Amino acid sequence: MNLILLFQDDFVKDRQRVCLRGRRHEHVLDVHRASVGDRLFVGLLNDKMGTGMVTRIDKDAVEMDIVLDRDPPPPLDATLILALPRPIVLKRILLSASSMGAKQIFLIHSRRVEKSYWNSPILDEERIREQLILGLEQARDTIMPEVWFRQKFKPFVEDELPGIIKGTLPLVAHPETSEPCPRQINRPVTLAIGPEGGFIPYEIELLEDTGFISVNIGERILRVETAVPVLLSKLF
Ligand code: SAH
């Protein structure tokens, strides 16, 4: 936890003092091993970042006086469209996408996504939020990403994607194309990544008809959780 993410209801005095219990308190106690007078990196959800000076710490809680004087880092200019991965992989991807600064993530169905994945408890709002928060705390950011679910591929691509890709470069990562992924594009991008079994040809066609360009990131076929950071580091 490189930043302690704060929420409005942590404040015990107007925007000045917070009292934390539970996971964050334990972390400050056991990992930071903080004592009174120490300053820790903090940030308020969807707001500024700054420092918290420990004013009290014991086995029940930690209290800090907060100064919020810095903006969070600029968001990544990328909308991610991910075919819903296996629950365990989804957890990791949400955390890492959040830490890389992605703020818009669509999780979509596609032919090679197992239907049962849609019933996983990891898709509960609270569980998703947990991973996104871990990513923000990891990266020192405060702006919560938004995650949407779309369980019907064709209506999503035909009706919604044209609006989403407006003003962006729409790319679909596809190992079978010879077009290499562009580098350092310096413009907003919409990036579609397939499921473990890949998009089927019909889905690639539909995406291409909507304006997407298929790109590859080399001969090696990577796991989705590896492909995402590789793609983003080429593009930005
Ligand atoms: N057997 C599948 C592999 C899917 S890998 C196939 O041949 O399509 C899962 C997803 O990661 C892919 O759908 C793609 O979006 C992305 N990916 C992995 N390796 C890639 C590569 N070398 N080039 C482009 N995309 C890749």
pLDDT tens profile 182-202: 999 989 999 999 999 999 999
As a whole number, the mean pLDDT across the chain is 97
CA of 180 to the centre of ligand 1 (A): 13
| 55 ligand 1 Cβ < 6 A | no
Mutate to test the pocket of ligand 1, among 221, 228, 234 (most ligand atoms within 8 A of CB): 221
Query: How far out from the chain centre does Cα 46 lie?
Result: 14
Half-sphere exposure of 217 (CA within 13 A, CB side): 20
> Do the strands 49-57 and 62-70 form a parallel or antiparallel pair, or are they unpaired?
antiparallel
* Nearest-atom index, ligand 1, CA of 215: 24
Whether 166 is in the pocket of ligand 1, judged by its Cβ within 6 Å, is no
- Given a contact cutoff of 8 angstroms between Cβ atoms, the answer to whether 171 and 181 are in contact is yes
| Ligand 1 pocket, mutate which of 82, 215, 222, 235 (most atoms under 8 A from CB) | 222
- Ligand 1 centroid from CA 236, angstroms: 20
State residue 89 phi and psi, 5-degree precision: -70, -40
Q: Is the predicted pLDDT of residue 15 greater than 80, yes or no?
A: no
Interstrand relation of 146-150 and 104-108 (parallel, antiparallel or unpaired): parallel
Task: State residue 70's pLDDT score.
Answer: 97
pLDDT digit string, tens, across residues 103-132: 999 999 999 999 999 999 999 999 999 999
**Following DSSP, what letter does each residue of 57-126 receive, concatenated?**
E-SS-EEEEEEEEEPPPPPPSEEEEEE---HHHHHHHHHHHHHTT--EEEEE--TTS-GGGGG-GGGSHH
